[in-house]
Amino acid sequence: MRSFEHTGSPVRVVFGAGTLGALRSEVERLGRRRVLLVSGSSQPDVVERAAAGLGDLLAGRFSGAAMHTPVEVTARALESASDADVVVSIGGGSATGLGKALAVRLGVPQIAVPTTYAGSEVTSTLGETADGVKTTRSAPEILPATVLYDVDLTVDLPVATSVTSGVNAMAHAVEALYSPDADPAVDALAEQSIRLLAAGLRRIVTDPADVDARADALTGAWLAGTCLGAVGMGLHHKLCHTLGGSFGLPHAGTHTVVLPHAIAYNASAAPDAVARVAAALGRDRDAAAAMYDFVVEVGGPTSLAELGFRAGDVAEAARLATARPYPNPRPVTEEGVTELLTDALAGARPAGAPDFSWLTDQVVASFANAPDARVRQLLSDLVRRAHAFANDNDLTQDEWQYGIDFLTRTGAITSPTRQEFILLSDTLGLSSMVDLLTNSRTTETTPSAVLGPFYVPGPPAVAPGADISGDLPGIPLRVDVRIEDTTGAPIGDATVDVWQSNEDGFYDLQLPDLEGPVLRGRLTSDADGMVRFWTILPSEYPVPVDGPVGQLLESTGRHPYRAPHLHFLIDAPGHRRLITQLFVAGGAYLDSDTVFGVKDDLIVDFAPGEGSPPDGRAVEGEWRVLTYVFRMG
Ligand code: BEZ
Ligand code: FE
């Protein structure tokens, strides 16, 4: 199951052809009357039309928007209408950015009319430059109130700009697909965005005036911007930011060159997200190569060299882009980014995943003559999955060696009284998986649970009603359980082995100073199937953590605790052996047992005892009673 948090964007979006004509009514819809109209220097005729449409609502205008939103430009723009009650921005990312800077300063809403595929019109982030330093902040009030997408305004966008701006938008969608904050809604928007942008740009390059193609691209850009506003971005955005901010490379062009390489970098760590990118581009695999081929197809730049980046800048750019950690599917290392930048500098086509299946096939074929069919099946499948594991994760020599060392240490600590391999299997849930497969296929019998390492065969015989606690401290517990078959008939003469931890969570095997076996014993069911004895309430306890498994738990942030439980191993002639545990309802770690052994049907009320304790036992203070019916198949 996938858990997520999603907040819907409150931006009002008006999309269509000629929607600029609705500008005045959108201003009025917000209840505003004094418009500050801002833009860059391009498309002066569009700005003129907007001004005419606003008529007497126009309080001031400014057409000097600049890249990276310098604060001195914002200050000058403010002088144009410091009493404005709404800001209207027309243009690409620079105009939208200036609009945001003004709207937050004035505390008024913004209407954005984007003319490129930047996407920033639907985000609540503002990047501003002061004294050459760019700082970025996010706040709900930065988000424009209304976005007017007028497809007609994008028809004149030069093809080259359409391509880089469009691929820049695609980058938002790609990084959204593998963002840790993504959710099903964002996934759907991102995938559809890539599809629409790809379809739109392919047609725009052959016919820039194709209004339907323009509509597809602009819709894709809106969806991509929505992704950008909804989730955090990764390596690609960070790297492009560095290349733009510190090396002066053009924003959208840089995104276009870097995107295929960023996808290649993350492909092994986010295979599902990357597969969706490939699918959205119309390929069934190799998203990185598919994106590169797409950029070539639509005539975009493919090398950082053609944008002015130099080989001598690679090391510094890699250092800057990895200076501070941030979320990204594959860990971001200076070495990895250096390789990425070297490829991007040269404009190399990212290689598709190499196909090493011939090796797997050879190994599998080597088992073909194994006489035992089951051995053949298990070994062949194990090899296939182990090879796929190495391949899919791009396993490095160091990681493989670490795994070998880990298993070597696991073997070294294993002894007749310490089985670290079983503990490894337990903590990876493999023991519980095999247990489920073997023992829990019917609902009529009591579910089983793992044996664990603390069982000792042939425990001391215990008389009915006797106490197995050896006077160890703890809350006295009376156990009255019944053994039945699946028809409900009692099973007499069943051998019932029980064992448990003491009040501090230790088994007798772990306490060398303790005399003899204690808190364990063998009972026999009577003719009514009943087994009765006294003990103490079991406690939660950690599995042994002084070996490699303990290191694994610690390094993955997992606790080592088992929920409090009592073990049972029941043998009865004519019935399948039942190995199980009963868990104390309300006990600690029931929902995070470190060996994944808890099953709902095995959580039992260890109820407070009432009246006089059975078997004439004298008990001072609190005592508990466990009653349960075991059903054997
Ligand atoms: C136990 O319940 O005794 C146990 C099971 C698996 C690992 C460690 C302990
Ligand atoms: Fe146990």
Q: How does pLDDT run across 521-580, given as a tens digit for each residue? A: 999 999 999 999 999 999 999 999 999 999 999 999 999 999 999 999 999 999 999 999
| pLDDT tens string 224-237 | 999 999 999 999 99
What is the side-by-side order of every strand in the sheet holding 476-485? Answer: 530-536, 476-485, 624-632, 607-608
**Pairing state of beta strands 565-571 and 578-584?**
antiparallel
A 10 A CB-CB count for 584 gives 22
| pLDDT tens string 64-100 | 999 889 999 999 999 988 899 999 999 999 999 999 9
Pocket lining: 16 vs ligand 1, CB cutoff 6 Å: no
Q: Where is average pLDDT lowest: 311-320, 349-358, 383-392? A: 349-358
Distance CA 206, CA 505 (A): 74
Domain with CATH 3.40.50.1970 in the chain: 1-154
pLDDT of residue 229: 93
Determine the distance from the C-alpha atom of residue 372 to the mean position of all C-alpha atoms in its chain, rounded to a whole number.
41
Distance CA 90, CA 113 (A): 5
Q: Which two tokens stand for residue 214?
A: 């323009």
Pocket lining: 450 vs ligand 1, CB cutoff 6 Å: yes
Residue that the structure tokens 């001195």 belong to: 72
**Pairing state of beta strands 58-62 and 35-39?**
parallel
User: Could you give the count of Cα atoms lying within 13 Å of 28 in the half-sphere of its Cβ?
Assistant: 10
Pocket lining: 595 vs ligand 1, CB cutoff 6 Å: yes
* Residue of 417, 595, 599 to test ligand 1 pocket, by largest number of atoms within 8 Å of CB: 595
Q: What angle do CA 181, 234, 225 make, to 5 degrees?
A: 70
CA distances from 392 to 164, 268, 329, 622 (A): 31, 6, 14, 56
* Residue of 420, 454, 456 to test ligand 1 pocket, by largest number of atoms within 8 Å of CB: 454
Q: From ligand 1's centre to the CA of 483, what distance in Å?
A: 24
Which ligand is located closest to the Cα atom of residue 543? 1
With a cut of 90, say whether residue 195 has pLDDT above it.
yes
Domain with CATH 2.60.130.10 in the chain: 430-632
Spatial CA neighbour of 493 closest among 464, 514, 534, 454 = 464
Pocket lining: 596 vs ligand 1, CB cutoff 6 Å: no
pLDDT of residue 560: 97
With a cut of 90, say whether residue 461 has pLDDT above it.
yes
* Residue of 414, 421, 430, 450 to test ligand 1 pocket, by largest number of atoms within 8 Å of CB: 450
Q: Can you tell me which atom of ligand 1 is nearest the CA of 565?
A: 2
Q: From ligand 1's centre to the CA of 444, what distance in Å?
A: 25
Domain with CATH 1.20.1090.10 in the chain: 159-348
Pocket lining: 453 vs ligand 1, CB cutoff 6 Å: yes
Q: Give the N- to C-terminal CA distance of the chain in Å, as an integer.
A: 33
pLDDT of residue 618: 84
List the alpha helices (DSSP H) in 155-210: 159-177, 184-206
- CATH topology for 1-154 is Rossmann fold (3.40.50)
Return the CATH number of the domain spanning residue range 159-348.
1.20.1090.10
Q: What angle do CA 363, 367, 371 make, to 5 degrees?
A: 175
Residue nearest to atom 2 of ligand 1 (CA): 452
Q: What percentage of the chain exceeds 70 in pLDDT?
A: 99
Residue 36's pLDDT band, with cuts at 50, 70 and 90, is: very high
Distance CA 552, CA 550 (A): 5
Pocket lining: 566 vs ligand 1, CB cutoff 6 Å: no
Query: Which residues, other chains included, contact 301 with Cβ-Cβ below 8 Å and sequence gap of 6+?
Result: 164, 253, 256, 257, 295, 307
Distance CA 303, CA 342 (A): 10
Residue that the structure tokens 């069982």 belong to: 455
* Residue of 451, 553, 579, 584 to test ligand 1 pocket, by largest number of atoms within 8 Å of CB: 451
Q: From ligand 2's centre to the CA of 150, what distance in Å?
A: 68
420-427 and 397-413 helices, crossing angle to 10°: 130
Q: What percentage of the chain exceeds 90 in pLDDT?
A: 84
Q: From ligand 1's centre to the CA of 83, what distance in Å?
A: 72
For the stretch 78-108, what's the b/e string if a residue is b when 16 or more beta carbons lie within 10 angstroms of its beta carbon?
A: bebbeebbbbbbbbbbbbbbbbbbbbbebeb
Q: Can you tell me which atom of ligand 1 is nearest the CA of 450?
A: 5
Distance CA 157, CA 62 (A): 21
DSSP states of 536-590: E----EEPP-SSHHHHHHHHTT---EEPPEEEEEEE-TTS--EEEEEEETT-TTT
Pocket lining: 454 vs ligand 1, CB cutoff 6 Å: yes
Burial (CB count within 10 angstroms: exposed 0-12, middle 13-18, buried 19+), residue 268: middle
Residues 456-482 have a mean pLDDT of 95
CA distances from 418 to 158, 431, 517 (A): 72, 16, 17
Residue 197's pLDDT band, with cuts at 50, 70 and 90, is: very high
Q: From ligand 1's centre to the CA of 451, what distance in Å?
A: 7
Q: Can you tell me which atom of ligand 1 is nearest the CA of 427?
A: 7
Residues 397-408 have a mean pLDDT of 96
Residue nearest to atom 9 of ligand 1 (CA): 452
- For the chain, what is the largest distance between any 2 Cα atoms, rounded to a whole number of angstroms? 101
Distance CA 617, CA 429 (A): 41
pLDDT of residue 441: 66
In the beta sheet, which residues pair with residue 532?
A: 480
Residue nearest to atom 1 of ligand 1 (CA): 452
Pocket lining: 32 vs ligand 1, CB cutoff 6 Å: no
Pocket lining: 543 vs ligand 1, CB cutoff 6 Å: yes
Pocket lining: 561 vs ligand 1, CB cutoff 6 Å: no
Residue nearest to atom 5 of ligand 1 (CA): 452
**Pairing state of beta strands 476-485 and 530-536?**
antiparallel
Q: Can you tell me which atom of ligand 1 is nearest the CA of 507?
A: 3
| Structural contact between residues 522 and 495, judged by C-beta atoms closer than 8 angstroms | yes
In the beta sheet, which residues pair with residue 70?
A: 129
Spatial CA neighbour of 430 closest among 442, 422, 440 = 422
What size, in residues, is the chain? 633
**Where on the phi/psi map is residue 308: left (φ > 0), alpha (ψ -120 to 50), or beta?**
left
CA distances from 233 to 180, 182, 264 (A): 9, 10, 16
Q: From ligand 2's centre to the CA of 621, what distance in Å?
A: 26
Pocket lining: 517 vs ligand 1, CB cutoff 6 Å: no
In the beta sheet, which residues pair with residue 543?
A: none
- CATH topology for 430-632 is Protocatechuate 3,4-Dioxygenase, subunit A (2.60.130)
Query: Which residues, other chains included, contact 123 with Cβ-Cβ below 8 Å and sequence gap of 6+?
Result: 138, 142, 143, 225, 228, 229
